[in-house]
Structure 1
Amino acid sequence: FEDFKATEKNLKEALGHDTKTLNEYLRILEELELVQQIQSEGAEESYWISKNKLFKIPGEISDPAIGLFHAQTMKEAQTRLQSLSLYNQFRTLYFSLDQAAFEDICETLNDVANRLKVKYCNNYINDKRLFKFNFQLYPVTDLLNTASKMS
């Protein structure tokens, strides 16, 4: 954000995390090459910048850092679930999907994510809250053959 200097002090205050938690999150983001730490000459404190203005964390867990990011996100969501706030929104939907429908819903989720980035991404945070929007799509059951279970 152009109107927010992402120093450790400012990030801790804005996010409400302790130093250890914040440093762990920053380490994960650095491993994913999404942020980089800047140490300016003469500056009292280093700060972090995003390497890419518009980014989304991949859904494929091909890297341990991506898996760790998603695990931390789920822990964060669980904490938010326990706090009462008008801003915490949780929804759950169940679908029975064959392979074609699964591929279609994945494509739809990517389209929705891209539309949300274009519509809501901007360079400023003053007088705003930073929101995180998560998608989780996973099978709850193995492949079921119910033909034999009808009698």
Structure 2
Amino acid sequence: MVVIITLSWNIWRLGHEQKPNVVPVTKVTQVSAEAGKEIIRLVFPSDKYPETAQHIKEAIAAGKSPACTIDREGAEHNRELSLKDVPTRKGKAPDEWPMAMCAEGGVGADIKYISPKDSRGAESWVSDQLYVFKDGTRIEFVVK
């Protein structure tokens, strides 16, 4: 009985819960070649994950797009491609931009070594923010 009530509550909550830092869908121009397509703006918390935030800013400044298309099924393959020739470093984690969960990730991704704690925390935070969105959704990362 408790399991059924808990399950029902969680299902109801999914449909009625607002996720923090997710701005409602808006049309954004000149974010991608797909002008006029709706895009979700996600404000990334640089105060919580400063190394990841700095890497995103640097990669965007170097010409990488601030937007990406969610492609969870392609994440593992993209990670293999982007990290293929990247050596491991003790006490560091290779951070990718665009992220592996983005269709634009993989070959050519910008890689920077950061602390594993920052990397894991940022990955978890992004997953929590985007779980309600389907693959194919365009996301613009705004780093404050």
- In the superposition, the TM-score normalised over structure 2's length comes to 0.24
Larger helix proportion of the pair = 1
Q: Which one has the bigger strand percentage?
A: 2
TM-score, length of structure 1 as denominator length: 0.23
Task: Work out which structure has the larger RCO, using CA pairs closer than 8 Å and 6 or more positions apart in sequence.
Answer: 2
Query: If you compute each CA radius of gyration, which structure gives the higher value, 1 or 2?
Result: 1
